[in-house]
Structure 1
Amino acid sequence: MATPLSASRLLSALRAEGVHVVEVGDWRTHNRNHKGPWGPVHGVMIHHTVTKGSARTVELCRAGRSDLPGPLCHGVITKDGRVHLVGHGRANHAGLGDDDVLRAVINETAVPGDNEASTDGNRYFYGFECENMGDGEDPWPAAQLEAIERVAAAICRAHDWDERSVIGHLEWQPGKVDPRGFTMSSMRARIGDRLGSKSPAPALPAPRKPVVDLSQLVAAARSNPAAKGTPVTYAGVRTVEAALVDEGLLAKAYSDGHYGTTTVDAYAKWQRRLGYRGKDADGIPGKTSLARLGAKHGFEVKE
């Protein structure tokens, strides 16, 4: 258990680690603390933004969107290796994740596969968004990777944590893929080297794949579009929407757990991509189309 670093201590820790820091506006008091506590903190979480352009990326992460108010992280790591501090306190970056993963981070043991979204990560993690499209093709410059390493090491050093206190969003919440383009195991090795860690690499358990219940997913697909607001009637919707985002069929803004008309349209495009036509491509998942999506994006299907 650790008390979050004050804004001044965080800034000092980053600069002492050789991080090129840019202070953005009122970052020291910009937070979501009125929505819940920040702390105790247990680790550092790394994300990618799915954006281009440093200025646009920083402003988006500072201000947020109409459906997700900022700050969306504590710092933005741009491609040139600079770290733009945009918030201090609770930030909308981690969302709900796996309590087994949190336990592993606290104990600094091997991270298990994430298969549930039940724990408030915004309370427990520092979050850093990295400017990258997240398509597996957008490059990660050496300066940016080194900045990620330095930022994570600085916070770990300040809290007397080792590299196993650093995870990616994809290791926290089922269906997430960020950061994409490098592995967190390789980044943790870099952080460990910087910290001078001698801890042995633990044997990794077999990853647990998220499981999507077809009957519950179909019920959400049939009921959600007619519902008021954006209800999350079944958590497995997020897993399917994340896969549709990765396929380029659904905008990330609509990956919200609500199987509304936009998700119906996106799934219909997936069905048509598989060769289905007419009423067989109506956006309501079937066993075969869902199993093929799961096989490609790492989740299992049960009826």
Structure 2
Amino acid sequence: MATPLTAEQLLTALRAEGVDVVEYASWRTHNRNHKGAWGPLNGVMIHHTVSSGTDASVELCRNGHSALPGPLCHGVIDKAGTVHLVGNGRANHAGGGDPVVLRRVIAEDYGDRPPTPQEHEGSAGAVDGNARFYGFECVNLGDGEDPWPAAQLEAIERATAALCRAHGWSARSVIGHLEWSDWKVDPRGFTMPSLRDRIAARLSGPASGGSAGRPAGGTSAPRYEPFPGTSFFDGRTSSPVITAMGRRLVAEGCSSYAVGPGPRWSDADRRSYAAWQRKLGFRDSDADGVPGRTSWNALKVPHTTV
């Protein structure tokens, strides 16, 4: 079980994983928290929209309709592979589902797929999935014929991996709506076991946000320094990577430097980095000034020739 990410932590995790993100107006405070619990979180659920067109699909998922008010998910993944953030908090996406499935997702102990669900919204044994899952709606007609472009499938893989990485979950924490409720068929057109295989492969390596940006005008994407590990940041370290990091902290308005920055890790670096962590939404021991992978990837330190 996990505490929900703040809006800034969610955004940071997605960008660190190389997700192309568009922030919809007021998404940070748009939720259904007044209707029920939000958290503890146990996983991520994938849906298809049964709609076409990015603008119309995003609008639907943001506002919902008379029978089901929005937000209907947290992010809409379009066919070009862009994730449109429309909500942060409880959303009307999962509804009631099978408690046996929930237990197996929490334990992450199932094989190819969770047990076949036996419950649905309104059935006697159903549990509230809106409190327990992040939700992504993926633009697709859901008829089994509408294609799933490679860019869209990659975005689904990256977005779900980002949340798994942020919470320390495995790929078994990602399920389809059809694996949660015996009333549902989404997503249709690819299999959840194949998606979980892709997520697991991505999680076996570092977050790859530094090389995942879409280049403009045919130019190559910028190169960023990979996360060097927490042991790199001590008083014995002297490296141009530290200088490049400090310059990025200054550019982000997080400077505690009297002079510099310079190549040797210092207390000024630590204080500046703690300000960056707080800017991202981290608090208490998570904002101790020692770089971690998620905050480092979000900082995008330019590649330095050593």
With the length of structure 2 as denominator, give the TM-score of the two structures: 0.64
- The equivalent position to 2:159 in structure 1, one of 145, 151, 159, is 151
- The equivalent position to 1:116 in structure 2, one of 116, 119, 122, is 119
- Following TM superposition, by how much is the alpha carbon of 1:164 offset from its aligned partner in structure 2, in angstroms? 0.1
CA distance in 1, matches of 2:35, 2:134: 16
Rg (Cα) greater in structure? 2
- Following TM superposition, by how much is the alpha carbon of 1:37 offset from its aligned partner in structure 2, in angstroms? 1.0
Q: Which residue of 1 aligns with 2:219?
A: none
Alignment of 1:1-303 (within 5 A): 1-110=1-110, 111-117=114-120, 118-196=126-204
Summarize deviations over 1:205-262 as a string: whole Å, max 9, x none. Answer: xxxxxxxxxxxxxxxxxxxxxxxxxxxxxxxxxxxxxxxxxxxxxxxxxxxxxxxxxx
- Following TM superposition, by how much is the alpha carbon of 1:175 offset from its aligned partner in structure 2, in angstroms? 2.0
- Following TM superposition, by how much is the alpha carbon of 1:109 offset from its aligned partner in structure 2, in angstroms? 1.7
CA distance in 2, matches of 1:104, 1:140: 28
| AA of the residue aligned to 1:64 | G
CA distance in 1, matches of 2:183, 2:100: 16
Identity of aligned residues (%): 71
Name stretches of at least 5 consecutive residues in structure 2 with no aligned partner. Answer: 121-125, 206-306
- Following TM superposition, by how much is the alpha carbon of 1:139 offset from its aligned partner in structure 2, in angstroms? 0.1
- Following TM superposition, by how much is the alpha carbon of 1:6 offset from its aligned partner in structure 2, in angstroms? 0.4
Matched residues, number = 197
Please give the root-mean-square deviation of Cα atoms over the aligned residues, in Å: 0.7
| AA of the residue aligned to 2:170 | D
Tell me which protein shows more helix as a share of its residues. 1
Any runs of at least 4 consecutive aligned residues in structure 1 with deviations exceeding 6 A, and if so which? none
Summarize deviations over 1:257-287 as a string: whole Å, max 9, x none. Answer: xxxxxxxxxxxxxxxxxxxxxxxxxxxxxxx
Name stretches of at least 5 consecutive residues in structure 1 with no aligned partner. Answer: 198-303
CA distance in 1, matches of 2:99, 2:109: 14
- 3-state DSSP class of the match of 2:87? coil
With the length of structure 1 as denominator, give the TM-score of the two structures: 0.65
CA distance in 1, matches of 2:119, 2:24: 34
- 3-state DSSP class of the match of 2:200? helix
Q: Which residue of 1 aligns with 2:290?
A: none
Summarize deviations over 1:146-198 as a string: whole Å, max 9, x none. Answer: 0000000000000000000000000000121000000000000000000018x
